[in-house]
Amino acid sequence: MFEDILNYPFGVETIHRKKRSIKKELLKATVLSGRKIAILGGSSTAEIKDVIELFLLKEGIQPTFYESEYNKYYEDVIFDIGVLKDFEPDIIFIHTSNANIQEFPQLTDSENAVQDKLDAELGKFTSIWEKIKAELSCPIIQNNFEMLLDRRLGNVEAIDFRGKNNYIAKLNLALCEYANANDSFYVNDINFLSARYGLERWHDRSFWYSYKYALSYDAISTLAHSVSSIIKALYGKSKKCLVVDLDNTLWGGVIGDDGIGGIKLGKETAIAEAYTSFQTYILELKAQGVLLAICSKNDAKIAAEAFDHPDSVLKIDDFSCVKTNWEEKHINILEIAEELNIGLDSFVFIDDNPVERDLVRSQLPEVTVPDIGSDVVDYISYLDRGNYFEPACISTDDLKRSEYYQKELKRQSSKSRFEDYGEFLDSLEMEAEIVPLEPVYYERACQLINKTNQFNLTTKRLTLSELERYSVSDETLTLCGRLADKYGDNGLTSVIIAKTKGSVASIDLWLMSCRVFKRELELAMFDVLIASCSARGVSEITGHYLPTAKNSIVANHYERLGFSLVEEESNGGSIWNYSIPECYENRNKHIKIL
Amino acid sequence: MNKKNILDQLQNIFRDCFDDENLVVVSSTTSDDVEGWDSLAHINLIVTIEKEYNIKFSLAELAVLYSVDDIVNLIAEKAA
């Protein structure tokens, strides 16, 4: 019910009018992770905060907020950081706008004078960011600046160095440069959002003069959704897989009826061109690391032929999983989830048929099913405006993901030919490198820490800066493992973080990507952990298992390794202990350690 | 538009904005009488009313809207 209101195109009127009851409804979800978010505003933020809360609750994040006093975003950080420190924010959102620009160029200014103003403006903002980095080290989300509504100089306003919109464009470029040079700094692109929304509708003078909001009431949802999308991406809650229907979704017409010559694709007609554009958009999603899958009621052989159409941008090999049969779609999607080994909440399903959409929505509520309508001209907008696949940044591992899954299918097919599992493992010619966390691995390790749900003993999440602190501490022992085999490099796939005190090491975090389940990498990690412990004079290891809805696969992990049970907790968790024997024999038999 | 009708229609808007199914406002009701009717909720209420009646209050009007009576009178005038 409220799902639709919070999906593009947002039901803005209802969002504001019924925000209290929507919130109550969303709070009923069982799995919510708490996050502390500080909003530092250069204008009013109350309603923005309320709407961000709704969007985050929808993503399973329950925020607690700190709000700066009206327009005290600078003072709060520079002169009064203690209050913020006490709040211990997980994320700081700085909501500023062009109303917060201190000084614009004057027509009498020289080029140098304008540059000085620019430096002063950036200096003010940089001092905020640097202070946060030094004192709080939490991720910052910073608005860039939207264009001014009025332009006295006409087109020259954008072009001349004395033009105000020219000045704003320079500020925005400088913000991007800062973001590129600083991890944990993210720009909320309100310059783009306001342009797409329409500056005339984004700005509302009455709302500014009366209530000091720097944008119109109706635009608040667009802003809040964008901020929530960044937060969602930071915590690894962006979607991972797009499942598509075929007939009238990827091409016009029905391949089984119209045949390869009859379906609409290419440049010949308006409709054909629209379908081709949509396919191109999807292919670009794949390039960015989104997995593609097909779920269509069709004859498998006939459906596959459509991809041989000379104007089909997508080829059958672009899909990591193909289900073309007459089974119900929700059953097929469940199978896709199992084969790709990712959770249902990572899926977006698109289909032109509202009946199929409703069925999937009702049977698999975790799957996101945007109401894309039935006109191909709208498909891209619905998929794009949802920000479903928003990445926090572009990482090279993401770019290789589809390639990896295709190799995984090959691995699975060779698995069936071996009698003995050990023999199969040997045939993979696996090699692992297991070393303490180093800076080059931080980004990938952080990504793993925030999105691994299954093989994850404590599901402890860390921001990049927290991870860095762990890694450089003397009282912490960190290990990360990369696994390669004859089909390719799986990259960094396992992380252990343990705190050491005297002769005892306690494992705070142990996780492994589902990519390398059942490869005995966990045994290799344990061997190296034992060696590192011994080298430090540690003789006792304690482990903690904290159950979640998704990590039952590791419920017996410590028991299997030979730990003894110390305590069972009321929440189903357990604490384990292991004394390192004098002669420890390595457990791993199939992976060569480099 | 009849002021009595407007007051009846306003009940739903007030109940949604303050999330209270049993809330009843009368023309003499002011922000002091309704729990949660602070300056922030006031903005929400005013914008919801503007949208419901497809009207836009002027800056001068926004500055003097304090009671249900003020609101009803202004809607009657603007939506006429």
When pLDDT is cut at 50, 70 and 90, the band that residue A412 belongs to is low
User: Is A425 a residue whose pLDDT tops 70?
Assistant: yes
- Say yes or no: A25 contacts chain B, CB-CB below 8 A: no
Span of A185-189, A252-256, B61-65 with lowest mean pLDDT: B61-65
Eight-state DSSP code of residue A515 = G
Which pLDDT score, from 0 to 100, does residue A411 have? 65
Q: Taking the CB of residue B79, how many other CB atoms lie within 10 A of it?
A: 12
Residue with tokens 């960190």: A478
User: Is A221 a residue whose pLDDT tops 60?
Assistant: yes
A88 φψ region: left (φ > 0), alpha (ψ -120 to 50), beta (else): left
When pLDDT is cut at 50, 70 and 90, the band that residue A414 belongs to is low
Which pLDDT score, from 0 to 100, does residue A417 have? 57
The mean pLDDT value of chain A amounts to 91
Separation CA A39–CA A356 (nearest Å): 41
Query: In this complex, do B43 and A209 lie within 8 Å of one another by their Cβ atoms?
Result: no
How many angstroms separate the CA of residue B6 from the nearest CA in chain A? 18
Nearest to B59 among A13, A47, A210 (CB): A210
Query: In this complex, do A17 and B17 lie within 8 Å of one another by their Cβ atoms?
Result: yes
Span of A106-120, A154-168, A394-408, A442-456 with lowest mean pLDDT: A394-408
Q: Taking the CB of residue A518, how many other CB atoms lie within 10 A of it?
A: 11
Interface confidence (ipTM) of the complex: 0.86
Eight-state DSSP code of residue A380 = H
Span of A95-109, A215-229, A259-273 with lowest mean pLDDT: A259-273
CA angle centred on A287, ends A284 and A290, rounded to 5°: 90
Average pLDDT over residues A119-130: 95
User: Is A87 a residue whose pLDDT tops 60?
Assistant: yes
Pick among A10, A12, A16 to test the B interface (most B CBs inside 10 A): A16
Which pLDDT score, from 0 to 100, does residue A171 have? 97
Domain layout of chain B by residue ranges: 3-78
For the segment A63-78, what is each residue's pLDDT rounded down to a tens digit? 999 999 889 999 999 9
Query: In this complex, do A210 and B63 lie within 8 Å of one another by their Cβ atoms?
Result: yes
Domain B3-78: give its CATH code.
1.10.1200.10
Separation CA A125–CA A554 (nearest Å): 46
**Which string of DSSP letters, residue by residue, matches A75-133?**
HHHHT-HHHHHHH--SEEEEE--GGG------TT--HHHHHHHHHHHHHHHHHHHHHHH
For the segment A563-586, what is each residue's pLDDT rounded down to a tens digit? 999 999 988 899 999 999 988 999
Which pLDDT score, from 0 to 100, does residue A31 have? 77
- Percent of chain A at pLDDT exceeding 90: 70
Separation CA A162–CA A158 (nearest Å): 9
- Say yes or no: A17 contacts chain B, CB-CB below 8 A: yes
Which pLDDT score, from 0 to 100, does residue A543 have? 96
- Coil, helix or strand for A184? coil
Average pLDDT over residues A119-127: 95
Chain A residues close to B16, C-beta within 8 Å: 17-18, 21
Query: In this complex, do B48 and A17 lie within 8 Å of one another by their Cβ atoms?
Result: yes
- Coil, helix or strand for A292? strand
User: Is A259 a residue whose pLDDT tops 90?
Assistant: no
Nearest CA in chain B to A211: B43
Q: Which structure tokens are listed for A237?
A: 């809650």
Nearest CA in chain A to B60: A210
Residue of A3, A120, A139, A140 whose CA lies nearest to A73: A140
Pick among B40, B42, B64 to test the A interface (most A CBs inside 10 A): B40
Which pLDDT score, from 0 to 100, does residue A392 have? 82
**Which string of DSSP letters, residue by residue, matches A541-553?**
EEEEE---SS-GG
User: Is A382 a residue whose pLDDT tops 70?
Assistant: yes
Counting beta carbons within 10 angstroms of the beta carbon of residue B70, is it exposed (0 to 12), middle (13 to 18) or buried (19 or more)? middle
When pLDDT is cut at 50, 70 and 90, the band that residue A187 belongs to is very high
User: Is A416 a residue whose pLDDT tops 60?
Assistant: no
Query: In this complex, do A16 and B47 lie within 8 Å of one another by their Cβ atoms?
Result: yes
